[in-house]
Amino acid sequence: MPSSEIEFQAVPSIGDISAEAWDACANPRVNGSAVPSQNSSCISRERYNPFVAHAFYQALEASRSACARTGWAAQHLIAKRAGEIVGVVPCYAKSHSRGEYVFDHGWADAYERAGGRYYPKLQVSVPFTPATGPRLLVREDIPDAPAVRELLAKGLMALCRTVEASSVHVTFARKDEWELLASNGFLQRTDKQFHWENEGYATFDDFLGAMNSRHRKQIKRERREAVANGITIEQLTGKDLTEAAFDAFFQFYMETGSRKWGSPYLTRDFYSRVAETMADDILLVMAKRNGRWIAGAINFIGSETLFGRHWGAIEHHNFLHFEVCYYQAIEFAIQRRLKRVEAGAQGEHKLARGYMPTETFSAHYIPDPGFRHAVADYLKRERQYVAHAVDELSEYAPFRKIDQ
């Protein structure tokens, strides 16, 4: 397919693209079978990723969580053919490196010490969301979808030159996209997270049965002690998500986020917006004591994956964090027959709770040849380190050996 058939455009707001056109690329229909999501256009639930839905980006941008003032100026790349949108890339011009979870502060410092200008850079991601998902979004009902996806990769490189950005960073991409981007001149980077995999468990007790004795007893003890002080746990989704519940959760988010990051990223309005447009995609796990909410965690529900995001609390209780964030997520995933739980960035303590080390993938386009060479050399060594760390940590898996 000649590239001249595709016209590219960068738009400064997700609002400049209709939800129907965006979601046809991001969460396309499969085999003509689509199920309507709440208050949005028909999109497939067979391969649904909530973080690339138009409604999620709309909530981020309209709530002023991701905007030029906060260092996230939208530059969404649109591919059109004969006036019809056939591909999109969620992209932002960044004036800093916060809220990304793939850390390049050292790259920025080195480049600027050498006389370069690192910012603005282009960030292809979901702001503030370290979750794997598609990044080169193409309508699957067109016959040349793979070719259009490759053209999107080239379009990002052209956009980098047009806006005079130092680089393009595609973070938490799927592995197939990571490989495609590498074949088009992007550098490959890996990192690790801890994900729980559903091995066909019917109940949480089935999952515990797969653990070795020491870890099985440990999890049972942690779950008992987490609710020992008269704490009850509730799972809220759909119509059960109220403004009062989000008022309480936002308090937890602000209190915990201020201690961890100094300045939490999301506004209160963001939560109201996703509750209005994505209620069926949200699981809010809330802990209550003496008639008031004291802790909570928000998760987003995909067709195969439960994505754990933020946690917060205004009271400290032993193991409550593990119960609200990890064990409740596993129970929900088993109940919904989801394939996995992604519990967010960092946290080797997750390993003892059944979350296994898993590689994540990002790709980086750096046009400056000298800088590119230095980063490529660093990434080669980093990939080796990550692969070794994943293998080493896997040896400490808490599950029973096959011969036990």
Separation CA 101–CA 104 (nearest Å): 9
Strands (E), 204-263: 232-236
The boundaries of every CATH 3.40.630.30 domain in the chain are 3-192+358-394, 199-338
What is the token pair recorded at 127? 């702001």
If you classify domain 3-192+358-394 with CATH, what class do you get?
A: alpha beta
At residue 351, the pLDDT reads 96
Q: For 199-338, which CATH superfamily applies?
A: Gcn5-related N-acetyltransferase (GNAT) (3.40.630.30)
Question: 303-335, pLDDT tens digit by residue?
Answer: 999 999 999 999 999 999 999 999 999 999 999
At residue 45, the pLDDT reads 54
Query: Are 30 and 47 contacting, i.e. CB atoms less than 8 angstroms apart?
Result: yes
Residues in the chain: 404
Of 27, 128, 26, 178, the C-alpha closest to 87 is: 26
At residue 32, the pLDDT reads 36
Separation CA 51–CA 135 (nearest Å): 10
Query: Are 336 and 306 contacting, i.e. CB atoms less than 8 angstroms apart?
Result: yes
At residue 260, the pLDDT reads 60
Of 130, 209, 199, 223, the C-alpha closest to 338 is: 199
Separation CA 236–CA 270 (nearest Å): 18
Residue ranges, the chain, pLDDT below 70: 1-4, 29-46, 257-262, 402-404
The residues with which 362 forms a beta bridge, in sequence order, are: 189
Query: Are 269 and 12 contacting, i.e. CB atoms less than 8 angstroms apart?
Result: no
Question: 31-45, pLDDT tens digit by residue?
Answer: 333 333 443 444 445
At residue 11, the pLDDT reads 98
At residue 42, the pLDDT reads 44
At residue 263, the pLDDT reads 73
At residue 46, the pLDDT reads 62
